[in-house]
Amino acid sequence: MFSSRAVNSPELFCPAKLNLLLAVTGRRTDGFHDLVSVVAPVEFGDRLRIEAAAEFSLHCDDPAVPAGGTNLVLKAAQAFRAATGWTGGARFTLTKRIPMGAGLGGGSSNAAMALLGLNRLAGGPLAAEKLAGVAAQVGSDCALFLAGGPVVIRGRGEQVAALPAAVATRLRGRRVLIFKPAFAIATPWAYTQLAAQAPGGYLPAGEAEARVGAFVRAVAAGAAWEDSLFNALEGPGFRKFIALPVLLGQLRARFGLAPRMSGSGSACFALLPDGAPVPEIVAAVRAAWGATALVVETRLA
């Protein structure tokens, strides 16, 4: 299911994502990892404008973002051209808000929306399933952003399944605080560290699916589901970057939250119950990680 908001707007919203549950079940022969993850987009993200042009080009307001062929937006554009034979071009203008190295999927979200926008610009040559296939070729978690809501992803992330409608409805709108320290964590490093712990760092596939089932049942029943949150990549991240588990422990003890890391990090998040003392929580984050820490209050989308 594609986001009509993205399709009908000349400026596309590129949401960040949170891994509410992330289990890694093993390493594949192609070097990727198999995983099972419940992923939810949020109402915080980037903006991508796409305008017809002779060739593909990318301009970004963040000078740290590579604007050359290594950027996933331009990789997505080339993949779209290869899949469709479209000879047109586009000028991409990216307003960047999702930090890099955060585990929030910013680059993948940008690429997915670039594909969606190009498909519109080219007159819709690719149906939804084909467009998702191209997205999966560009990056492991690109296709999930085309779903327009919370999903379960499997394989290396390219297999996307919608959550039951009632579960998705209960998740949408839930307040959440996202916070990231000044440092980043490289995704390849995190998975390499996890592989070095094998088999201890992996979760059996049956247990991973059982965790997803328990999560879905808890949300559907309206029960507390915060304790179902899980992230296998916290192990490598927390061992190297002690500032992460120290702050998360403080937030649990002081405010009764259930904070987790998203993806490979370094961004973390905490679901906010009604009446949560948000200013005090933000102050605690900044006291631990400094004024340069990113802190955003948003909602699951």
Same domain, 141 and 230: no
Q: Domain count of the chain?
A: 2
State the pairing for strand pair 57-60/89-95: parallel
Q: What is the average pLDDT score of the chain?
A: 94
Distance CA 191, CA 201 (A): 10
Distance CA 109, CA 120 (A): 17
Strand, helix or coil at 145? Answer: helix
Residues labelled as active-site residues: 17, 141
pLDDT at 242: 97
Domain membership flag for residue 216:
no
Answer for the pair 203, 25: CB distance below 8 angstroms, yes or no. yes
Domain membership flag for residue 122:
yes
- The closest of 211, 166, 158, 176 to 40, measured between CA atoms, is 176
Digit-coded pLDDT (tens) for 185-217: 999 999 999 998 877 789 999 999 999 999 999
Domain membership flag for residue 218:
no
Domain membership flag for residue 47:
yes
- The closest of 77, 1, 16, 67 to 262, measured between CA atoms, is 16
Same domain, 160 and 232: no
pLDDT at 7: 41
- CATH number of the domain enclosing 46: 3.30.230.10
Token pair 């331009």 in the structure block, residue: 74
Same domain, 22 and 149: yes
Is pTM, for the whole model, over 0.85? Answer: yes
Domain membership flag for residue 68:
yes
State both tokens at 207.
């247990």
Same domain, 94 and 20: yes
Owning domain of residue 243: 172-210+226-299
Same domain, 240 and 160: no
| Confidence at 31, pLDDT banded by 50, 70, 90 | confident
Same domain, 186 and 149: no
Domain membership flag for residue 118:
yes
Provide φ and ψ at 65, rounded to 5°. -80, 125
Domain membership flag for residue 220:
no
- The closest of 75, 147, 159, 156 to 115, measured between CA atoms, is 75
State both tokens at 104.
């929030």
Distance CA 262, CA 177 (A): 12
Same domain, 89 and 145: yes
Residue 221 makes CB contacts below 8 A (sequence gap 6+) with: none
Domain membership flag for residue 217:
no
Same domain, 16 and 128: yes
List % helix, strand, coil for the chain (3-state, nearest 5). 40, 25, 35
Answer for the pair 153, 159: CB distance below 8 angstroms, yes or no. yes
- CATH number of the domain enclosing 186: 3.30.70.890
Residue 267 makes CB contacts below 8 A (sequence gap 6+) with: 99, 102, 103, 104, 178, 179, 180, 261, 294
Whether the predicted pLDDT of 105 surpasses 60: yes
Same domain, 17 and 142: yes
Residue 234 burial (CB < 10 Å; 0-12/13-18/19+)?
Answer: buried
pLDDT at 4: 36
Domain end among 165, 181, 196:
165
CB-facing half-sphere around the CA of 54: CA atoms within 13 A: 0
Answer for the pair 254, 284: CB distance below 8 angstroms, yes or no. yes
Digit-coded pLDDT (tens) for 112-140: 999 999 999 999 999 999 999 999 999 98
HEC secondary structure over 260-296: EECCCCCCEEEECCCCCCHHHHHHHHHHHHCCCCEEE
Same domain, 113 and 187: no
Digit-coded pLDDT (tens) for 230-249: 999 999 999 999 999 999 99
Same domain, 181 and 131: no
Same domain, 288 and 183: yes
| Cross-strand pairs, 300 | 42
